Structure 1
Amino acid sequence: MELPPPTTPSSLVFKIHRREPELLRPAKPTPHEFKHLSDIDDQEGLRCFSLNAREGPVKVMREAIATALVFYYPMAGRLREGPNRKLAVECNGEGVLFTEADAEVTLQQLGVAPHLPYPYIDEFLFNVPGSSEILNYPLLIFQVTRLKCGGFTFAFNYNHAMCDALGLVQFCSAVSEIARGADAPSVLPVWERHLLSSIDPPKVTHQHLEYVDTAPGVVDHSSEEQLVDRSFLFGPKELSTLRNLLPPGEKFTSFEILTAYLWKCRTIALQLPPSQEVRVMCTINARQKLVNPPLPRGYYGNAIVCPVALATASNLTRNPLGYALELVKKAKAQFSRDYISSVASLMVTKGRPGYVTARTFELTDITHVGFPELDYGWGEAAYGGPADAGCPEDLACGYLLPFANKKGEKRIIATFSLPAIAMERLSKELRTLFNFNKPTAGHLGSQMSIKYSL
């Protein structure tokens, strides 16, 4: 089912009152030292900020963050760049940015729905001038906003070079435990970034299409058009329909099936030239392959790799779904400890190249990361997760997000950003296969329960 974007009454006047942003320092003195990031952390594609949103009150959250920073003291430092663009964090305790605000609206007036795009994110997270810089600026930016109904939003930016989604949830979990009265996190943070740095001498053992453009000079004109965001709901019925399109007997994960299908649908919607190369980038958690030795419990750095599947637009759109699925599965099969080491070596030998963004669709599965389960002491959140795509340059991003209906039945929300005309083609493609009716806001209300407790 297609989920309509959150709607707000046309008469709604959004007023927000902010205090000046403050630097929130660790609650106790912390070591002043330099810590090098791993070669997985400091690649060009992770030098960006990502948006997230939660709920929680001002005083408790301010104190909980300050206490958590005693344990996660590198997060209160500043990134510096050395020779060969190598990143290190100066642990100087300068602090993170924290803003307190009041909004003269209620959650119900905002029409907040638990999917992207999150409304009024520019109001709920103040864009402090210069704060999105990667080097020499705070690594975390928070804003807690009180609403008229008694609720709160808790929104923040984080520097992706410091941690991935699982590392971020680990930090947020520490904040939530302290907010609920703990003196220390139950899982203590571990740095150990050398475990994901290049071997000496570096050795690139794989072809890394995520960093190598096999069709240089071809421009993705779709990135130059005004994009619209929409979300689509996939449950057991939709996944069963997709599995029925595949040869019997073969086993594929839901992530593989949705990645292949959405990649194909997106390419159909864009109506690209038949010979144009298209890619899908699969963001994979590398922790499961790091077993000898494993990453220590509490490691919160980036441990992700992004293998790529590649095809021409013609081959992808004209072949059965199984064709795209085999490409996705083959790309994922590259994933190994040696592959991770090869990525780190490539960063060192090639000057830390960025991802190939033109003609690339990145799909990130965060259904099991744990954002919605974080409890800061005020009950279940109305929404927990990314507030926008947050993708660097012209990389087209999508998310797979968790969702449960009133009965507790689990679903998957898939998000898209496309030019308006292509989005209509995508919607039509999905409705044709799944017999979706184009929804109204009322349909959404019957499917979703937005809980909000203080």
Structure 2
Amino acid sequence: MATPSNSSPLAFTVRRCEPELVIPAKPTPHEYKLLSDIDDQESLRFQIPVIQFYQYDPSMQGKDPAKVIREALKQTLVFYYPFAGRLREGANGKLMVDCTSEGVLFIEADADVTLEQFGDALQPPFPCFDELLYDVPGSAGMINCPLLLIQVTRLKCGGFIFAIRLNHVMSDAAGIKQFMSTVGEMARGLVTTSIPPVWERHLLDARDPPRVTFTHHEYDEVEAHISTQLPDNLVQRSFFFGSYEVQALRRLLPPHLRQCSKFELLTACLWRCRTIAVNPDPDEEVRMLCLANTRSKFNPPLPSGYYGNAFVFPAAITTARKLCQNPLGYAVELVKQAKARVTEEYVKSVAGLMVIRGKRLHFPAVIGSYLISDVTKSGFEDIDFGWGKAVFGGPAKGIGVISFFIRANYMKGEVGTLVPICLPAPVMERFAKELDNILKGQPKWEGKSFLISSAM
């Protein structure tokens, strides 16, 4: 198993042009568009970064990726004009987009580094990431701020890096990938998008009157003690799971569970190892929240061009003692049960909860909670601006208690799942050790008494 270091010795200089606002190439409607009751929940009111690395392509000699992408962005915003607007907040905290055509932030930059210098295994945390996606002062707020920030950084080798920061209330992974794919289509010379964007956020609104028909442990109010608060001094480290690691974990399961999905298997393993590393009170409740795309759960399915947030994150909940004393199959069963609850009715129940209890509900951002989002099938690496597919594409980092499953080519060309983890440094060391133990078939607490009882 690959367990790269927390930091990279690679350092380089980035020269940036002044940030500019890119507006749609043609006039677009000036109107207000309401976000859905799923979109504007407190849990999604944050910024999320995505990064793409591209190699030099001799066929594109003489073409500037920053200029090509800037022009393509103007064309794309004609179709996706809400992105060029600004958020406003209405009654009861309801968010809406004022389609003002003010534009999205765009930065053109150059770095004195080659793609090869990043190494064989592109993975979070990326060196000098804050220089590859510069946080323009005052740009990261919710209200009256640009909804997208894009930076194109040219590399010495002729390759480039495309980085984008999204206000999450606007789109999920599938939605922003759809937007980025359209930028790619425009950059390659198309004049219209292959998948027309669909707003229709009312499809994920609560019913009238709103009803809550499930118990939603993902929004439980967890009292934050000093022992459960998420520290500020987190380190990040990425872990790679190829065929060897996946098969090693499957061998730990009873026969009736060995056909579980890779997502269920890896989620169960990471949740269990992370809990052991965090070292909570054995009787403390711990949660795993698995993000589930619900587009296909609706009857009829959501329109293919829908680019809003169309996911929920059902929770598996147990005590630290049960999770860590039981075999890995116990955690797999809990993950499977959480996923099985996701239906169209479940989504409507979440939307109803947002309306009845207020949109300020948030998943518990405490160290005993762990949220996993699988973007391995989102296709970020397939986005082509004319220079071919990305050699790495996906979320740029884990965020607090959130990890992403990212499809990645690792050293020696193996395709597998890359998982960025954020933890305090001493906890990270325990996590890495426990993960190594379980992959060797020697999980530390398998079949033994649960001895860890002190707070972290």
Q: TM-score, normalised by structure 1?
A: 0.90
Alignment partners' CA distance in 1, 2:325 and 2:108:
53
1:190 aligned to which of 198, 201, 204: 198
Q: Is 2:327 aligned against 1:320?
A: yes
Match for residue 32 of structure 1?
Answer: 30
User: Which one-letter code corresponds to 2:21 in the other structure?
Assistant: L
Please tell me whether the aligned partners of residues 3 and 432 of structure 2 are also in contact (alpha carbons under 8 angstroms).
no
Please tell me whether the aligned partners of residues 125 and 143 of structure 1 are also in contact (alpha carbons under 8 angstroms).
yes
User: Which one-letter code corresponds to 1:374 in the other structure?
Assistant: I
Match for residue 444 of structure 1?
Answer: none
How many residues align? The count is 428
Q: Alpha carbons of 1:187 and 1:220: their partners in 2 closer, same or farther (altered >3 Å)?
A: farther
Match for residue 91 of structure 2?
Answer: 83
The Cα of 1:217 is off from its aligned counterpart by: 4.4
Q: Is 2:425 aligned against 1:423?
A: no
Match for residue 339 of structure 2?
Answer: 332
Match of 1:241, SS?
helix
Q: Alpha carbons of 1:397 and 1:121: their partners in 2 closer, same or farther (altered >3 Å)?
A: same
2:381 aligned to which of 363, 372, 381: 372
Match of 2:382, SS?
coil
Match for residue 369 of structure 2?
Answer: 360
Match of 2:381, SS?
coil
Alignment of 1:276-295 (within 5 A): 276-290=284-298, 292-295=299-302
Alignment partners' CA distance in 2, 1:130 and 1:285:
32
| Identical amino acids, percent of aligned pairs | 51
Alignment partners' CA distance in 1, 2:181 and 2:389:
14
Match for residue 49 of structure 2?
Answer: 51
Structure 1: segments with no counterpart, 5+ residues? 437-454
Match for residue 100 of structure 1?
Answer: 108
2:283 aligned to which of 267, 275, 283: 275
Q: Alpha carbons of 1:31 and 1:146: their partners in 2 closer, same or farther (altered >3 Å)?
A: same
Match for residue 3 of structure 1?
Answer: 3
The Cα of 1:403 is off from its aligned counterpart by: 2.2
RMSD between aligned residues: 1.9
Alignment partners' CA distance in 2, 1:6 and 1:277:
29
Alignment partners' CA distance in 2, 1:43 and 1:94:
25
The Cα of 1:252 is off from its aligned counterpart by: 1.5
Match for residue 306 of structure 1?
Answer: 313
Alignment partners' CA distance in 1, 2:185 and 2:413:
25
Match of 2:230, SS?
helix
The Cα of 1:231 is off from its aligned counterpart by: 1.6
Alignment partners' CA distance in 2, 1:7 and 1:320:
33
Q: Is 2:31 aligned against 1:22?
A: no
User: Which one-letter code corresponds to 1:37 in the other structure?
Assistant: L
Match for residue 41 of structure 1?
Answer: 39
The Cα of 1:107 is off from its aligned counterpart by: 2.4
The Cα of 1:9 is off from its aligned counterpart by: 4.6
2:391 aligned to which of 361, 368, 382: 382
User: Which one-letter code corresponds to 2:355 in the other structure?
Assistant: V
The range that moved more, 68-77 or 54-63, is: 54-63
Please tell me whether the aligned partners of residues 29 and 99 of structure 2 are also in contact (alpha carbons under 8 angstroms).
yes
The Cα of 1:293 is off from its aligned counterpart by: 2.4
Instruction: Show CA shifts across 1:161-182 (max 9, x none).
Output: 0110000110001000110110
Match for residue 443 of structure 1?
Answer: none
Match for residue 131 of structure 2?
Answer: 123
Q: Is 2:237 aligned against 1:230?
A: yes
User: Which one-letter code corresponds to 1:314 in the other structure?
Assistant: R
Match of 2:256, SS?
coil
The Cα of 1:238 is off from its aligned counterpart by: 1.9
Please tell me whether the aligned partners of residues 84 and 348 of structure 1 are also in contact (alpha carbons under 8 angstroms).
no
Instruction: Show CA shifts across 1:248-274 (max 9, x none).
Output: 123411111111111000011112211
Match of 2:438, SS?
helix
Alignment partners' CA distance in 2, 1:282 and 1:378:
34
Instruction: Show CA shifts across 1:348-405 (max 9, x none).
Output: 111111112112111111110001111111123232111122x3xxx41111111235
Alignment partners' CA distance in 2, 1:217 and 1:365:
27
The Cα of 1:185 is off from its aligned counterpart by: 0.9
Alignment partners' CA distance in 2, 1:105 and 1:240:
38
The Cα of 1:218 is off from its aligned counterpart by: 3.6
The Cα of 1:241 is off from its aligned counterpart by: 2.0
The Cα of 1:310 is off from its aligned counterpart by: 1.0
The Cα of 1:65 is off from its aligned counterpart by: 0.6
Q: Alpha carbons of 1:121 and 1:405: their partners in 2 closer, same or farther (altered >3 Å)?
A: closer
Q: Alpha carbons of 1:16 and 1:237: their partners in 2 closer, same or farther (altered >3 Å)?
A: closer
Structure 2: segments with no counterpart, 5+ residues? 55-64, 442-456
Instruction: Show CA shifts across 1:95-142 (max 9, x none).
Output: 000111122222233447322112211101111111110111110001
Please tell me whether the aligned partners of residues 8 and 111 of structure 1 are also in contact (alpha carbons under 8 angstroms).
no
The range that moved more, 178-187 or 323-332, is: 323-332
Alignment of 1:60-209 (within 5 A): 60-111=68-119, 113-209=121-217
Which contiguous aligned blocks of 4+ residues in structure 1 show a shift greater than 6 angstroms?
Answer: none
Match of 1:316, SS?
helix
Match for residue 402 of structure 2?
Answer: 397
Please tell me whether the aligned partners of residues 175 and 308 of structure 2 are also in contact (alpha carbons under 8 angstroms).
yes
Alignment partners' CA distance in 2, 1:419 and 1:400:
20
Alignment partners' CA distance in 1, 2:300 and 2:88:
29
Alignment partners' CA distance in 1, 2:108 and 2:414:
36
Alignment partners' CA distance in 2, 1:108 and 1:299:
37
Q: Alpha carbons of 1:249 and 1:414: their partners in 2 closer, same or farther (altered >3 Å)?
A: same
Alignment of 1:407-422 (within 5 A): 409-422=414-427
The range that moved more, 360-369 or 245-254, is: 245-254
